[in-house]
Amino acid sequence: MAAPTLASDSSTSFWADADRHLVRYGGAFTREIIDRAEGSFVFTEDGRRILDFTSGQMSAILGHSHPEIVATVQEQAARLDHLFSGMLSRPVVDLARRLAGSLPAPLEKALLLTTGAESNEAAIRMAKLVTGKHEIVSFARSWHGMTQAAASATYSAGRKGYGPAAPGNFAIPAPNAYRPDFTDADGQLDWRHQLDFGFEMIDAQSVGSLAACIVEPILSSGGIIEPPPGYFAALREKCRERGMLLILDEAQTGLCRTGNWYAFERDGVVPDILTLSKTLGAGLPLAAVLTSAEIEQEAHERGFLFFTTHVADPLPAAVGNTVLDVLTRDRLDERARDLGGFLRRGLEAIAGRHDVVGDIRGRGLLAGLELVVDRETKRSSDELGAHVTRRCLELGLHMNIVQLPGMGGVFRIAPPLTATEEELSLGLSILDEAIGDAVKTL
C-alpha cells in the first residue's frame, strides 16, 4: 500500500480530495474552506470573514471559540478527558445537579450523552420500558435525529428508501398558523380541532400500546413553527388520557435561546422527559436526558440499559458546567429576549421593503423568515430561497434555509447569544440586499 501523501495547499486539490473521499450526508457542501472561527464569525482560508447566523449547527450559543470554553477544554483534557463508562467524575455529577437545579420539579435525574439523536433515542427507549408500550407520536414536520428510534419519529426528511421504520410510529399535524389546515370562522388556525383530529387518527391506528409523544417546543427543521399558547397543555392532557409520557426535545430551544432557560416555561407545562443537546455543549458534543426520580426508578427496576462509550464523559461535562456559568453570569436569557426583539424589528423592516417576505416567526434568538412569491396565495419558490442563500454567502453571511413540500423557503436564523447589535445589523443589512438582488431575477 502506498504511503499517504500530504495534501496540497491549493483549494482545487482540497475539493478534489473532498469530492473523492467524503461520504455526502446531506445537501451539497458549502464551497468554502473554513480555517478558523471566533465569536460570531467564521474565517475562510483565503481570508474571507463570514457572519454566522446559524451558530454553527444551531449549537454555538456562546459564539465560536469562547475563551472560557477554550480554557475549560485545555484544562480538563490535560486532567481527565474520558473514563470507563461505569466510573464517575466530579464534572458529571456537578452538571447533573446543576441541570436539575435549573429545572422545575420533578425533573431531577440526568443522563449525560453526546448528540441530540442519542438523547432522543435514550428518552424513547426509557419511555417504552417504563410504560411497557411501544407506539410513539410526533409532529409531521419533526426532526429528532438520524438513529433508529429518533429517525422513526422524524418526518420532515429522510424516510424514503431505508426500509421499515420502528413499528408503531405515528404523526400528528404540525400547528402552522401561517399555513393552517384547520381554520375557524375567521380563517385562523383552529388548533384545538386539529389536535382532536390528529388524536382521533392516532386512536384509529393504535393497537393500544401508546408509550409517548415526542415533540419540539418550536419545530426548527420543520420551518420554525411555534405552536400557539395553550397547545402544549392540551397535548399534555391528550397524553395523560392515554397513559403516554410527554417528551420535549429542546435541542435547539433549551438554555436561553428563546429568552427563557427552557422554551416550555412559556406554557407552564413540565414534560415527563426532557432532552437537551446542541446548546448544552455550546458547539461540543454533549447531550442530556432529564426525568423524574419516579420514572428513573421504574426504568432502573426494569433494567434500563443505555451503556455507551461516551456516556458520562468528564470532558464534555466540564464544558457543560462552563456553559451554565456563562449563561447565568451574563444573564443570556435576558440578552436573548432583548436581542430577539432587535432582530424581529429588523426582519419586520425587511418585510416592509420586500413583498416576498411572507411571514416572520419564532422567539428570542431563534427566528424564522418565510419567503413566498405571492403573499396572497403564499406560493413558494425553491429557486428564490436558493438564490437568496447563495447571495448572502457571497456578501459574507451564512444562512440556513429549510425547504419542505407545501412551504416556502424558511430561513432559520439563530445567531449566538453573545452576538452584538452591530453584528445583527450587519446580518440584516446583508439579508436585505440579498433579497433585493434575488427579487430582480424573478
- The residues assigned a catalytic role are 143, 216, 249, 252, 278, 412
Cβ-proximal residues to 386 (8 Å cutoff; 6+ apart), any chain: 401, 403, 409
Write the DSSP symbol of residue 116. Answer: H
- Could you count the other beta carbons within 10 Å of the beta carbon of residue 376? 8
With residue 434 as reference, give the H or E element that holds it: helix 421-439
3-state helix, strand, coil in the chain (%, to 5): 40, 20, 40
Residue pair 194/230 in contact by the 8 Å Cβ criterion: no
Cα–Cα nearest to 431, from 388, 390, 400, 381: 388
How far apart, in whole angstroms, are the C-alpha atoms of residue 340 and residue 258? 8
Residue pair 238/269 in contact by the 8 Å Cβ criterion: no
Distance, C-alpha 135 to centroid of its chain = 23
How far apart, in whole angstroms, are the C-alpha atoms of residue 250 and residue 418? 20
How far apart, in whole angstroms, are the C-alpha atoms of residue 357 and residue 348? 9
Distance, C-alpha 85 to centroid of its chain = 27
The 3-state DSSP class for residue 110 equals strand
Residue 181 CB burial class (10 angstroms; 0-12, 13-18, ≥19):
middle
Q: How far from each other are the two terminal CA atoms of the chain, in whole angstroms?
A: 54
